[in-house]
Amino acid sequence: MCNTIKFSLPGELDTGALISELAAHYSIKKDPVDNRSILIYDTFDWRLFKKSFVLYKSGDKLFLRQLNENEILHRASIKSMPAFIWEFPDGLLKEKLAPILEARILLKLVELEIRSTSYRILNHHEKTVARIAHEEICSSPDNNSPPPSSQLCIYPVRGYLKYSRKIVKLFEERGLQTSKKDDIYFSWLEAAGKKPGSYSTKIDILLTHDMRSDEAAKAVFYFLLRIIRINGENIEKDLDTEFIHDFRVAVRRTCTALGQIKYVFPEEETERFKKDFSSLGKLTGELRDLDIYLLNENIYKEKLSPALRKNINPLFILLKKKRSDALHKVIQGLKSKKYETMLGDWKTFLNKSRNESPEPPNAGCPAIMMARTRIYKKYRGVIKAGYLALGDANDKKLHELRIHCKKLRYLMEFFSSLFPPDKINVLIDQLKKLQDNLGGYNDLCVQEEYLLTITNELSGTGLHLKRTLIAIGSLVETLGRARQSLKDDFTEIFTGFASPENKKIFRELFYNDQQRTVNENTGGLQ
Amino acid sequence: MKILAVYSNKGGVGKTATAVNLSYLAAQTGSRTLLCDLDPQGSATYYFRVKPKLKSGAKGFIKGGRRTYKSLKGTDYENLDILPADFSLRKLEISFNEMKRPKKRLKEILSVFSHDYDLIVLDCPVSISILAENIFNAVDYILVPLIPTTLSVLTHKQLLSFCKNKQYDTEKIHTFFSMVDRHKKMHKQYIIKVAKSFSGVLDASIPYLAQIEKMGIHREPVSVFSPGSAASEAYRNLWNKVQKIMI
């Protein structure tokens, strides 16, 4: 349980001779040669890599370590490789990974074959006081790999560190160099054609203040189009529920950008693509909703009294069936010529150089001005809608406020690179709290209504059906209580967001003195 | 982190052999395991070929804190460390008595390891006074080896009565039969009788076998030097049962 020291070995080095030399100083025992495979895993969106973790399987055990560190943080015995977090055995590894992996599937990134020859250094009690392993890392049959490499690892034993220190010194005197930083993870992933962190849905676009607004908008659209493409290709495989989620978020962001970054493209084309992307949202809506119900299955069941839990199973059987139909519908839609043409047209539109005459009114407007004007206006929209909801928090007003918030959030994310990160991120975090409250409330409204509607579709008769209906009724009641609790929290959360301190930062970041002039001149930034 | 004490208020019942073999088997499953040898005789420490010495002795040990780490030793096995015994631990009872919160010191001492280990196994010396109370306060499970004889059963009754009087949770106490001689009629009879009269009796027993005594010669857990033996199988079975109560 101490840090391993690794030495990279030059090809010409005779490890046998090195070990013989050690034998002159220490009593050494050679262990049987160990051949093992190591399989490295991560999610599609590199959640573990982004947290600097490496998860790998060796034999019937899973190990978690920090990148560039050798110490194992957590380990677990497994019977078969878990695909999702809920398939992990209970324990510290599961606890650590649960908030990171959430609903994402683990995918195998690369497989290594390691042949390890180990030697134990013994003291006069024949107690192991250090271990040395000569590890030869070879390619596994099914992936490209860099040339076989080998390393000499010293595994210190706790309480006997002086022995490993002496061995390190001896190796260094023989010209060997420790390989401290180059984590083998990178070279093997590179060889397998994988680039760690290459996929992320977080808007990461570098805009400049004086960039034209139409160019800034295109940069946002290119980024989102890539996300739509990647996820669209993976939805059919149905590996996990997050491909459809990421797809939908990118589609929604595209719709918002088309509607909110106003008058930078010709109106006719803007309207056409708004309609197209909106239809994609509608196509995938049911599937996402059903995913949420199914992901929440255990949470729903926990909300019910133990006596009712079994009775609600027919509902989930029906939801699974409906999900399968909904997935089929989405796959057909994404395979259709209409979808291909639409994305093709969209790409052609984005690639098209400017030649409209007259130019759309805000196309040449500096990105910073567009960003400030739109964000500040949307912020004021949120505050206005929020105060209306405070007066009378009915579902319609809360829904309208939620939509305003969503648009504001997307706008702030699109243009975040134009503003100081410490300030804009604080505001985004504050907005997120409000969105969580409103989003949670809306989800519960939708779920209650859906559960009541779906009762018509439940099959079965007599006592079984009655019991299922009682369980659904009980669930709806529990959801209703949770919804009311969110509503009770709303006033405090909104008041926090609308605080004078936040208002000051919003004004400082997004209000510009030229706003009125720009609005009058362009006629479009209102 | 879970803490399991292998404890008995009677000597010579196979506590150390149990603690050594169970901690080895736990480490083999991937749990980061620490064996604490609280017995000044240091037999568990001897089995792992480690020198029975704590940095700063028992005095340093009871002060607790990060300094306790300096005394830890890695064993020959992956995931298994040992906090060695020290002859000065014979004064542990007196030292605890001289401190504030004398019955909860061990719990505080062990709490520093909570992030580094999944399981701590305590090899406890015979005691039914303040050290025993420290153990009862510190651990999640108490595993008591029971020889199926009159005196052993009587001592176990004493333990249960002591725990009830002092209001310790007797649910933590699990027993198994140790040093069982299948040829002895009395052992057989007691096993049936005791299993009915005590709760928490595990369906596992360790036979009286020469292989277990040979641990002293090999200085290794049974499963290392004789993996296919009946003794090894018996400890594996016991470990399986212990794992079930720890889930």
Cβ atoms of residues A93 and A76 within 8 Å:
yes
Lowest mean pLDDT among A502-506, B112-116, B218-222: B112-116
Eight-class DSSP state of B7: -
pLDDT at residue A521, as a whole number: 45
pLDDT band at A17 (very low <50, low <70, confident <90, very high): confident
Query: A193-232 burial by CB neighbour count: b if 16+ within 10 A, else e?
Result: ebebeeeebebebebeeebbbbebbbbbbebbbebbebbb
Inside any domain, residue A433? yes
List for chain B the helix, strand, coil content (%; round to 5). Answer: 50, 15, 35
pTM of the predicted model over 0.80 = no
What is the C-alpha to C-alpha distance for residues A135 and A362, in angstroms, rounded to an integer?
62
Candidates A76, A128, A158; nearest CB to B72? A158
Tell me, yes or no, whether A252 lies in a domain: yes
Do A380 and A478 reside in the same domain of the chain? yes
Share of chain B above pLDDT 90, in %: 68
pLDDT, residue A6, reads 85
Both tokens of residue B117? 């280990």
Q: What is the pLDDT of residue B3?
A: 97
Mean pLDDT of A490-517: 86
Q: What is the band of A392 on the pLDDT scale with cuts at 50, 70, 90?
A: confident
Read off the pLDDT of each residue in A267-275 and give the average, rounded to a whole number. 94
Residues A222 and A344 in one domain: yes
pLDDT per position as a tens digit, A70-90 = 778 888 889 999 999 999 998
- The full set of domains in chain B, from first to last, is 2-246 (3.40.50.300)
Q: A462-497 vs A367-391: helix axis angle to the nearest 10?
A: 120
Confidence of residue A519 (pLDDT cuts 50, 70, 90): very low
Residue A269 confidence (pLDDT) above 70? yes
- How long, in residues, is chain B? 247
Q: A182 and A228 share a domain? A: no
Which of A1, A76, A91 has the CB atom closest to B81's CB atom?
A: A1
Q: Of A69, A58, A55, whose CA–CA distance to A98 is shortest? A: A55
How confident is the model over B75-102, as a mean pLDDT? 90
Nearest CA in chain A to B55: A159
Angle ∠(B73,B79,B82) on CA atoms, nearest 5:
30
Residue A470 has pLDDT above 60, yes or no: yes
Q: Does B33 lie at the interface with A, CB-CB under 8 angstroms?
A: no
The set of residues, in sequence order, having a beta carbon less than 8 Å from that of B71 and lying 6+ positions away, is A159, B53, B54, B55, B60, B61, B83, B84
Peptide bond into A358 cis (omega under 30): yes
Q: Which residues of chain B neighbour A127 with C-beta distances below 8 Å?
A: 48-50, 76
Domain contains A22:
yes
Residue B5: per-residue pLDDT: 97
Q: Is residue A203 part of a domain?
A: no
Q: Does position B237 have pLDDT exceeding 70, yes or no?
A: yes
The full DSSP string for B31-66 is --EEEEE--TT-HHHHHTT-----TTHHHHHHH-SG
Using one digit for the tens of pLDDT, what is the confidence trace for A128-171? 999 999 988 876 655 555 556 788 899 999 999 999 999 999 98
- CA pair distance A389, A405, nearest whole angstrom: 13
Tokens for A436, please give them.
């969580």
Residues A507 and A412 placed together within one structural domain of the fold: yes
Chain B positions touching A90 (Cβ under 8 A) are: 247
Mean pLDDT computed over A103-128: 92
Give the nearest chain B residue to A125 (CA atoms).
B49
Q: Would the pLDDT of A350 be above 60?
A: yes
**Three state DSSP letters for A236-284:** CCCCCCHHHHHHHHHHHHHHHHHHHCCCCCCHHHHHHHHHHHHHHHHHH
- Residue in B closest to A121 by C-alpha: B76
The answer to whether the CB atoms of B32 and A1 lie below 8 A apart is: yes
Q: Look up residue A345 and give its two tokens.
A: 């047209």
User: Cβ separation of A90 and B247 shorter than 8 Å?
Assistant: yes
CATH value at residue A90: 2.40.320.10
Label the pairing between strands B201-207 and B119-123: unpaired
Q: Indicate whether A92 and A154 sit together in one domain.
A: yes
Average pLDDT over residues A219-236: 95
pLDDT of the residue at A523: 46
Contact (CB<8Å) B30/A76: yes
Q: Could you tell me which residue, B247 or A384, shows the higher pLDDT?
A: A384
What amino acid occupies position A340?
E
B window 93-132, beta carbon within 8 A of A: 116, 118
| Residues of B with Cβ-Cβ distance to A92 under 8 angstroms | 118
Q: Which chain B residues touch A126 with a CB distance below 8 Å?
A: 49, 219
Question: Which residue's entry shows tokens 């699990």?
Answer: B174
The mean pLDDT of chain B is: 92
Give the pLDDT confidence of A473-484 residue by residue, as tens digits: 999 999 999 999
**Phi-psi sector, B30: left (phi>0), alpha (psi -120 to 50), beta:** left
Instruction: Tell me which of A34, A57, A77, A158 to substitute to probe the interface with B (most B C-beta atoms closer than 10 Å).
Output: A158
Q: Are residues A67 and A52 in the same domain?
A: yes
Give the mean pLDDT of A388-406.
Answer: 91
Interface of A with B in 438-477 (CB under 8 A): none
Say which residues have a Cβ less than 8 Å from residue A436's Cβ, sequence separation at least 6.
Answer: none
Examine residue A503 and state whether it is found in any structural domain, yes or no: yes
The confidence score (pLDDT) of residue A517 equals 39
Q: Is B76 on the interface with A (CB under 8 A)?
A: yes
Would you say the C-alpha torsion A352, A357, A360, A366 has a positive or negative sign?
positive
Whether residue A431 lies inside any domain: the answer is yes
How many distinct structural domains can be found in chain A?
Answer: 3
ipTM: 0.87
Q: Please check whether residue A24 lies inside any domain of the structure.
A: yes
CB pairs under 8 A between A and B: 42
Q: In CATH, what number is assigned to the domain containing residue A225?
A: 1.40.20.10
The residue segments making up the domain with residue A14 are 5-191
Give the lowest-confidence range in A11-25, A278-292, A324-338, A504-518. A504-518
- Which of A61, A120, A156 has its CB closest to that of B30? A61
Tell me, what's the pLDDT at A294? 94
Residue, of A239 and B182, whose pLDDT is higher: A239
Is A90 within 8 Å of B81 when comparing Cβ atoms?
no
Instruction: Give the percent of chain A with pLDDT over 90.
Output: 67
pLDDT at residue A326 above 70?
yes
Minimal Cα–Cα distance from A124 to chain B, Å? Answer: 10
Q: Considering CB atoms only, which of A90, A91, A158 is closest to B74? A: A158
What confidence category does residue A418 fall into, taking pLDDT thresholds of 50, 70 and 90? very high
- pLDDT value at A181 more than 70: no
Q: Are residues A297 and A381 in the same domain?
A: no
DSSP class of B213: H
**Gap from B182 CA to chain A (nearest CA, Å):** 35
Last residue of a domain, one of A361, A384, A419: A361
Q: Which pairs count as long-range contacts for A89-96, CB under 8 Å and 24+ apart, including other chains?
A: A90/B247, A91/B118, A92/B118, A93/A62, A93/A64, A96/A64
Whether residue A383 sits in one domain with residue A250: no
A202 lies in some domain: no
Higher pLDDT, A323 or A113: A323
The per-residue pLDDT of chain A, averaged, comes to 89
Average pLDDT over residues A317-340: 96
Residue B87 DSSP one-character state? G
In this predicted structure, the answer to whether residue A320 has a pLDDT above a threshold of 60 is yes
pLDDT tens, B106-159? Answer: 999 999 998 889 999 999 999 888 899 999 999 999 999 999 988 888 999 999
Q: Answer yes or no: is pLDDT of B99 > 90.
A: no
> What pLDDT does B194 receive?
83
Could you tell me if A435 and A293 lie in one domain? no
Q: Do A356 and A224 share a structural domain?
A: yes
pLDDT in tens, B39-80: 999 999 999 999 999 988 888 888 888 888 899 999 999 889
Both A176 and A284 in one domain: the answer is: no
Residue A526 is predicted with a pLDDT of 42
